[in-house]
Amino acid sequence: MRIEEVMDPALVEILKESGGIFAWEITKWTIFGIAGGTVAAVLIFFLLIIVGAYRLDWAYARWARIFVFVSTLLISTVLSSLIGFNQGLLVAVEQSLQSDQFRKNILPTIGSAAADLIATIYVVAPGLTKDNSSWTQSTKHLDARLKTFRKGEWELDINLLSQRLKNSRKKVVQEIVSRMDSSLKDDYPILNEGIGEKIYDWSTNYFAESIVENAEENVTESVDSLHWIKAGIADLKEAGSSDPKVSHHELSIVVAEVLINKGIISPVRSAVRIQQLIFLISLAVLFVTPVLIFRIAEFVKSRKTEKPA
């Protein structure tokens, strides 16, 4: 049985394209890392030789320098390859999420599902904050409201959403997010498998947690997850527009970009940069340590050979 017969064709194309991007970028940047690390290690070593960093009056000093050169070259090559590997991983992730197949098939679906989730909170949260209310009562007309929102028959007020979140109990928002997850996957089958499911779960978990944190919190805009939506809406609308209302289509576009950039690319970039910084510090230690050992050995030897006046 062919894979195309059991999986959504769009997912097959995205997986094929992403697989090629990952293989190429990781291989390319790893090779760049190895080449760059090797050249840099040789240049730095001989520069240190010229300035006398490995000078030592000892019978086996030459063999010690050879050992330092070989070990430094090998270890720096490994560390440089890891720096290149991480860079390739970051570039591959960014390029995969910019691919035509991803932006035509997966991204709009994720954005639409996220817009439905936000609209659900917008519609349901006020009812669930009241005493003696139930999920059934509060969602009685939810399906109809979502359908008309998708058709563009009404618009969501983002400022009112912020207020409703702050007036809601955290457990209420958590309940809405939890209950809607399976419902959204029923409405959007492409989010039930493959790369669509993984990216949806990864990005919306980040976004859902951010939304929940807005409940019962007097947060500032700098840490308010809705700040990024508001900024995206302002960019999407005409210049100078301060209209807080947004359609399902507009919200889908903005939220999709927020989810991808804040939920996936930013965490991956941060993790890669931290790893690369650790490897760079390790490289610095690799070159400095032998120099210190040689200098200490030279100092000790000179002290021993000094004759008393």
39 and 159 in a single domain? The answer is no
The pLDDT tens digits of the residues spanning 110-125 come to 888 888 888 888 888 7
Q: Are residues 119 and 39 in the same domain?
A: no
Question: Are residue 26 and residue 165 in the same domain, yes or no?
Answer: no
Are 44 and 63 members of one domain? yes
Q: How confident is the model over 39-67, as a mean pLDDT?
A: 88
d(CA 27, CA 91): 12
Q: Are residues 32 and 82 in the same domain?
A: yes
Specify the higher pLDDT residue, 141 or 288: 288
Top mean-pLDDT range of 13-22, 178-187, 281-290: 281-290
Asked if 255 and 277 sit in the same domain, the reply is no
Q: Are residues 140 and 68 in the same domain?
A: no
Q: Are residues 109 and 219 in the same domain?
A: yes
Answer yes or no: do 112 and 248 share one domain. yes
Residues 148 and 261 occupy one common structural domain: yes
pLDDT at 105: 75
Tokens found for residue 242: 């301060």
Per-residue pLDDT of 207-260, as tens digits, reads 666 666 655 554 444 345 566 677 777 776 665 566 778 888 888 888 888 777
Which one has a higher pLDDT value, 207 or 40?
40
Band the pLDDT of 288: cuts 50, 70, 90.
Answer: very high
Contact (CB, 8 A) for 259 and 203: yes
Quick count: other Cβ atoms within 10 Å of Cβ 205?
13
Domain hosting 50: range is 3-96+269-305
CA distances from 118 to 113, 266, 268 (A): 9, 22, 25
The domain total for the chain is 2
3-state secondary structure the chain: CCHHHCCCHHHHHHHHHHHHHHHHHHHHHHHHHHHHHHHHHHHHHHHHHHCCCCCCCCCCHHHHHHHHHHHHHHHHHHHHHHHHHHHHHHHHHHHHCCCHHHHHHHHHHHHHHHHHHHHHHHHHHHHHCCCCCCHHHHCCCHHHHHHHHHCCCCCEEHHHHHHHHHHCCHHHHHHHHHHHHHHHHHHCHHHHCHHHHHHHHHHHHHHHHHHHHHCCCCCCCCCCHHHHHHHHHHHHCCCCCCCCEECHHHHHHHHHHHHHHHHHHHHHHHHHHHHHHHHHHHHHHHHHHHHHHHHHHHHHHHHHHCCCC
Q: In this predicted model, which residue has the larger pLDDT, 186 or 292? A: 292
- The reported pTM is 0.72
Contacts within 8 Å (CB) and 24+ apart, 285-289: 286/72, 286/75, 286/76, 286/79, 287/44, 287/45, 287/48, 287/72, 287/76
Q: How does the average pLDDT of the chain come out, rounded? A: 77
Residues 74 and 148 in one domain: no
Answer yes or no: do 11 and 130 share one domain.
no
The predicted structure's pLDDT at residue 213: 61
